[in-house]
Amino acid sequence: MVTSSAPGKVYLFGEHAVVYGEPAVPCAIERRVHVTATEIDEGLRIHANDLQLDGFTVEYSGDGESHPDVDVAESLVEAGMGYVNEAVAQARDAADAPEAGFEISVEGDIPLGAGLGSSAALVVAAIDAATRELGVELPASEIADRAYQVEHEVQDGQASRADTFCSAMGGAVRVEGDDCRRLDGIDTLPFVIGYDGGAGDTGALVAGVRNLRDKYDFAADTVAAIGDIVREGEAVLETGDYERLGELMDFNHGLLSALGVSSRSLDSMVWAARDADAHGAKLTGAGGGGCIVALDETDDALTALKYTPGCEDVFRAELDIDGVRQE
Ligand X SMILES: C[C@@](O)(CCO)CC(=O)[O-]
Ligand Y SMILES: Nc1ncnc2c1ncn2[C@@H]1O[C@H](COP(=O)(O)OP(=O)(O)OP(=O)(O)O)[C@@H](O)[C@H]1O
Stretch of 46-54, 173-181, 261-269, 312-320 contacting ligand Y, by CB under 6 A: 46-54
Nearer residue to ligand Y within complex by CB, 276 or 294: 294
Nearer residue to ligand Y within complex by CB, 107 or 318: 107
User: CB–CB of 201/314 below 8 Å?
Assistant: no
Stretch of 48-56, 62-70, 94-102, 221-229 contacting ligand Y, by CB under 6 A: 48-56
For 58, list phi and psi in degrees, rounded to 5.
-105, 130
User: CB–CB of 196/202 below 8 Å?
Assistant: no
Rounded to 5°, angle at Cα 170 from 119 and 231: 95
Cα 303 to Cα 151, 183, 224, 275, distances in angstroms: 36, 31, 35, 11
Stretch of 86-94, 104-112, 128-136, 239-247 contacting ligand Y, by CB under 6 A: 104-112
202 scored as a contact of ligand Y (CB under 6 A)? yes
CB of residue 162 to ligand Y, shortest distance in Å: 9
114 belongs to an annotated ligand binding site: yes
Q: Which of residues 73-102 bind ligand Y (CB under 6 A)?
A: 76, 79-80, 83
User: CB–CB of 16/203 below 8 Å?
Assistant: no
Single residue of 126, 206, 281, 317 touching ligand X by CB under 6 A? 206
CA–CA distance, 245 with 237 (Å, rounded to integer): 7
- Annotate each residue in 93-132 with x if it binds Mg ion (CB under 5 A) or - if it does not, as one string: --------------------------x-------------
Q: What is the DSSP letter of 112?
A: T
CB of residue 76 to ligand Y, shortest distance in Å: 6
Q: What is the DSSP letter of 26?
A: E
Single residue of 7, 23, 68, 113 touching ligand Y by CB under 6 A? 113
140 belongs to an annotated ligand binding site: no
CA–CA distance, 104 with 2 (Å, rounded to integer): 10
Active-site residue identified among 50, 128, 145, 163: 163
CB of residue 211 to ligand X, shortest distance in Å: 14
Stretch of 10-18, 67-75, 82-90, 139-147 contacting ligand X, by CB under 6 A: 10-18
160 scored as a contact of ligand X (CB under 6 A)? yes
284 scored as a contact of Mg ion (CB under 5 A)? no
CA–CA distance, 18 with 175 (Å, rounded to integer): 8
Respond yes or no: is residue 163 known to be catalytic: yes
DSSP β-bridge partners for residue 103: 38, 45
Q: Which of residues 148-167 bind ligand Y (CB under 6 A)?
A: 163
285 belongs to an annotated ligand binding site: no
**Which long-range contacts does 105-109 make (Cβ < 8 Å, 24+ apart)?**
105/35, 105/36, 105/46, 105/47, 105/48, 106/33, 106/34, 106/35, 106/46, 106/47, 106/48, 106/49, 106/50, 107/33, 107/34, 107/49, 107/50, 108/31, 108/32, 108/33, 108/34, 108/50, 109/31, 109/32
Question: Which positions are catalytic?
Answer: 163
Q: Which residues bind ligand X (CB under 6 A)?
A: 15-16, 18-19, 115, 117, 159-160, 162-163, 202, 206, 285-286
Residue stretches of the annotated binding site? 111-121
Q: Which residues bind Mg ion (CB under 5 A)?
A: 119
